[in-house]
Structure 1
């Protein structure tokens, strides 16, 4: 492929961003944001309490504590395409089997399969790939790909209408088919690194005019996973991320039962408010991705943590629709803008050579937070009769988590001189 031909084409990295967008869109619609719509129908059919319904999803998220490091290593060694394709198939199959659930055991097993598929066929694989393909525009590219999750959330009202009209089993079965049909082609389009295609990150073309070879990426200052974990930067970023997910994880499961109990929301109205949340999340992802390439990411992340915390407090004591919209504003902007900046900050600090493996080990902390928060919220809500004590506790912890980003410092570059 000649340099002239390359210059006339859209940089392939943007096609990877689009593929990631598609995968995240269905993940957001059908699982991450959409599962809260299944909450009340499952309780109505089986008579399960809030802790039981939430625990299955929360425990399956803990799979990341095991899968993360392994998945990251596999991506760094073999590339993201085959890993993501396997994940997409398992994700779709899990939803198909979920439509036949008839007991707590089968419910837990199906969600284990759904979680396994969505994990290895989702965020980690795509984010690590985008990190390889972008440098100067890394936060912006991460932000665009992450908007897929928000767009999926915007469509949750349609999911609520479908479940109300056709029943949750029919919708779950159809969801599995849709996942395989749309996400599999997107997964097959992923490519690990730009250099084999004659590119440098961001689409810069540096090919030898005779041999048409690409200058190799200089990774001498990049840290390995082991070296990264020896730095305080790794743990401060990981813990800050985990503390933010206390809010994300608990709200993702318990939002609908909370507003149904406190404000008498229907499934459709709860779905509508999730869409409002996603509008602000998308704005945060787009604007935050742009700002993440321009300003101090560390300070920016401090403010996003405070946004999560204050938003959850507003939701906890909400008495009308305006309060719920204010929660959507605060939490949505914080959630959307935090992700691109944090992923870009990891790459800035540790480099791209072992980025997926580093992310994989970081996901241990994330998975624990995403598992513990919803279970704790469900147990406390069953005990006290509402979510007030659970949400206030999580909001305070998340606010305190902002200190991890406030105290964060770049790791020392390893000495490569002889």
Structure 2
């Protein structure tokens, strides 16, 4: 296998990892990260649960991410990304299938826990770690390419709403579970650890032969060293505050229907409209992320997301939602790959998986609060407008927070 990887001169193997990661991210996003909102109303309507109570399910994903995130990085270092992803993908398939047989609140929470544990070990974190390990000079480009899967996945939401309308939410979840296994397992088999393990170099560039060898060499920080630094805690907290907005995604489709739009229109707005600009943001991140100051890109992304959410909370017409789609989607698309690339720039490759998982653990604390708080806000206030407006104003703290962060090496000077 090592010889086969080394002989692949036409296409650097790291790009095959990017492709596999793109597919996995697309399936995970289309069926859960953005897609779960399509199941929200049907489940609430059947069981007559409150929206705050039903929102505990996505909050469980955040809590499990907080609890198990650090172990994902450790597992990747010990067992390799391929085995970790296989484990996660299988759990995802089982989780979707068991969720389709929900008959009580307890079963709903157990099934969601299995599913979200699988997502934690089988998708975003493993993909990001694998890709970051194979690239240095083109890290932002590679990570943005892999994250475009999330943009592609968003386009599945209207199809998901259509599937639920003809098959029901139970059969739809069962079909998704089977599809997750069929698509995810082959992608997991593509994953590899570091290029050095196979006689190659990051970016397929030998530092000795590079025209700019310094750009192929980076400083790596240990996990304990990172945890002792103000940079880590400031960065993790700022990302966590921004996570308040992203974690409320599950309420976007229900909110639009409460605003008077049909489920089909809501699905088009979130699944197609937002993801056109979302996808564009990820492409722009790849094109400019290795050229411009990533910190400034991420600051701008947070500004766009906050502005988009404010517009969303006041929207009453399609025309107003167009502005929401532009700013929210662009900010979302710019932020995801950029935050991953900054993590590699600030802390290096050696402990990337563990450090990224710890950053995500801090962010998960904020992510746990958001969906439940928005659902509770609807139950108490009777509308989604005020909860989303408050969420946007609180999240705006991330804008100056990100702008004033300094890398670890700068702090030591």
Structure 2 CA distance for aligned equivalents of residues 103 and 46 of structure 1: 8
Following superposition, the deviation at residue 206 of structure 1 comes to: 7.1
1:408 match: secondary structure: coil
Secondary structure at the aligned position of 1:352 is classed as coil
Question: Which residue is equivalent to 1:329?
Answer: 326
1:9 CA drift (Å):
2.5
Equivalence for 1:211:
none
- CA displacement 1:135-191 (0-9 Å, x = unmatched): 111001100100101101111101000000110111000000000000011011100
Please list, as runs of the form range in 1=range in 2, the aligned pairs for 1:27-106 lying within 5 A after superposition: 27-106=28-107
Q: Does 1:311 align with 2:308?
A: yes
Cα distance in 2 for partners of 1:20, 1:403 equals 32
Judge conservation of contact 2:72–2:120 (CA < 8 Å) in 1.
no
Map 1:9-28 → 2, pairs under 5 A: 9-28=10-29
Q: Does 1:284 align with 2:281?
A: yes
> For the Cα contact (< 8 Å) 2:207–2:217, is it kept in 1?
no
Question: What is the Cα-based RMSD across aligned positions, in Å?
Answer: 2.0
Deviation, 1:7, is 6.6
The structural deviation recorded for 1:329 is 0.8
> Is the Cα–Cα contact under 8 Å of residues 37 and 256 in structure 1 kept in the other structure?
yes
Against the structure 1 CA distance between its residues 196 and 413, is the aligned structure 2 distance closer, same or farther, given a 3 Å change threshold?
Answer: farther
* Aligned residue runs from structure 1 range 135-154, under 5 A: 135-154=136-155
C-alpha distance in structure 1 between counterparts of 2:217 and 2:393, whole Å: 43
Distance (Å, rounded) in 1 between the aligned partners of 2:93 and 2:3: 40
Aligned equivalent of 1:214: none
Which of the numbers 240, 265, 269 marks the counterpart of 2:265?
269
Q: Structure 1 stretches of 5 or more lacking a match? A: 209-216
Distance 2:114 2:77 in 1: 24
Q: Report the TM-score when normalising by structure 2.
A: 0.94
> In the alignment, which residue of structure 2 is the partner of 1:229?
227
Aligned mates of 1:280, 1:299 — CA distance in 2:
19
Moved beyond 4 Å, runs of 4+: 1-5, 205-208
Q: Could you list the per-position Cα deviations for residues 310-348 of structure 1 after superposition, in whole angstroms to 9, with x for gaps in the alignment?
A: 110000000101222211110111111112221111111
Give the TM-score normalised by structure 1. 0.93
Contact 2:236 2:359 in 1 (8 A): yes
Q: Give distance in 2, aligned partners of 1:373 and 1:4.
A: 44
Q: Distance in 2 between matches of 1:366 and 1:386?
A: 27
Q: 1:372 to 1:278 in 2, by over 3 A?
A: same
Q: Cα distance 1:48–1:5, how it changes in 2: closer, same or farther (>3 A)?
A: closer
Deviation at 1:301, TM superposition (A): 1.3
> Which secondary structure does the structure 1 equivalent of 2:177 belong to?
helix
2:60/2:116 contact within 8 Å kept: no
Deviations 1:100-139 (A, max 9, x none): 1011111111101110001100111110111110011100
Question: 2:132, 2:115 → 1: CA distance?
Answer: 26
Conserved 8 A contact 2:25-2:147: yes
Equivalent residue of 2:350, what SS?
Answer: coil
CA drift at 1:289: 1.9
Q: For 2:408, what is the secondary structure of its paired residue?
A: coil
Whole-Å separation in 1 of the counterparts to 2:101 and 2:169 = 10
| Number of residue-to-residue matches in the alignment | 404
Contact 2:6–2:199 (Cα < 8 Å) also in 1: no
Q: Equivalent residue of 1:102, what SS?
A: coil
Worse-superposed segment, 380-389 or 9-18: 380-389
Name the CA shift for 1:326/1:218 in 2 (closer, same or farther; >3 Å): closer
Do the aligned residues in 2 keep the contact of 1:3 with 1:205 (CA within 8 Å)? no
CA drift of 1:19 comes to: 0.4
1:241 paired residue among 235, 239, 242: 239
Match of 2:202 in 1: 201
Instruction: Please tell me whether the aligned partners of residues 301 and 338 of structure 1 are also in contact (alpha carbons under 8 angstroms).
Output: yes
Q: Distance in 2 between matches of 1:393 and 1:413?
A: 35
Please say if residues 299 and 406 of structure 1, whose CA atoms lie closer than 8 Å, have aligned partners that are also in contact.
yes
Trace 1:109-148 onto structure 2 (pairs within 5 A). Answer: 109-148=110-149
Residue 169 (str. 1) matches residue 163 (str. 2): no
**Structure 2: gaps of 5 or more residues:** 210-215
Contact 1:96 1:173 in 2 (8 A): yes
